[in-house]
Amino acid sequence: MQQGLFITLEGIDGVGKTTQALLLKGELERQGYSVLHTFEPGGTKLGSKIRSLLLNPEHEELHSMTEVLLYAADRAQHVAEKVLPALKDGKMVICERFIDSSIAYQGYGLGFEIEAIKTINHWAAGGLWPDLTVYLDGDPAQFLAKTKGDRIEQRTLDYYNRVRRGFLEIAQAEPDRVKVVSAEGTREAVSQRVLQALEGRCG
């Protein structure tokens, strides 16, 4: 049985997920919570190998179906090995990326059937669903410039605009779970907005 709170951070590459996850972890720990910060893809030892398969720009032949399934495989391992045990321990889990990223990137971005992505990933994650999701929203044209250009990041601005639209549509469909937070401004300003979005749910 799940006891801790499962919080996910979503948003395009370079938008500030890692930065905000660490700031949020620090704040929650100051409030006395026990927190696990983790991420997908690659949050486990096995998953880091899947991550390198997914992000290596040399893997041009990687089929979109394979891409969907590799993300789901990484997620299955991550949920079973790290996320569920931490939640059972009563920890607060802050996870960068989860099923919403698969829906936004492979569904809206690549045009893969969204219902199929949901089904595959619900199965992979054993039905685990975030209690709360913070979607950091920013214009891809502004934020992608900061990224390193891995296999996914090399996709076009059009692709990233579809991904952004995907995240926004998910948030619109599930306003109780998904809070949209502007990624613009200083780290501290964004962090304040993230904390506001979580108010009432923790601390």
Ligand X SMILES: Nc1ncnc2c1ncn2[C@@H]1O[C@H](COP(=O)(O)OP(=O)(O)O)[C@@H](O)[C@H]1O
Helix (H) or strand (E) holding 10: strand 6-10
Question: Is the preceding omega at residue 41 within 30 degrees of 0, hence cis?
Answer: yes
Residue nearest to Mg ion (CB): 18
Residue 127 CB, nearest approach to Mg ion (Å)? 26
Q: 45 or 148, CB closer to Mg ion? A: 148
Residue 130 sits in the site that holds ligand X (CB under 6 A): no
Residue 17 sits in the site that holds ligand X (CB under 6 A): yes
Q: 15 or 35, CB closer to ligand X? A: 15
Residue 119 CB, nearest approach to Mg ion (Å)? 27
Q: Which of 1, 30, 176, 186 binds ligand X (CB under 6 A)?
A: 186
Q: Which of 5, 7, 10, 14 binds ligand X (CB under 6 A)?
A: 14
Helix (H) or strand (E) holding 39: strand 35-39
CA atoms lying within 13 Å on the CB side of residue 46: 13
Q: 18 or 156, CB closer to ligand X? A: 18
User: Whole-angstrom Cα distance, residue 84 to residue 136?
Assistant: 24
Residue 40 sits in the site that holds ligand X (CB under 6 A): no
Cα angle 8-107-52, degrees, rounded to a multiple of 5: 65
**Taking CB within 5 to 8 Å according to partner kind, which of Mg ion, ligand X, none is near residue 166?**
none
CA atoms lying within 13 Å on the CB side of residue 36: 23
Site for ligand X in 141-160 (CB under 6 A): 146
Q: Which of 3, 18, 182, 196 binds Mg ion (CB under 5 A)?
A: 18
Which two tokens mark 136?
């950091």
Do residues 169 and 108 touch, judged by C-beta distance below 8 A?
yes
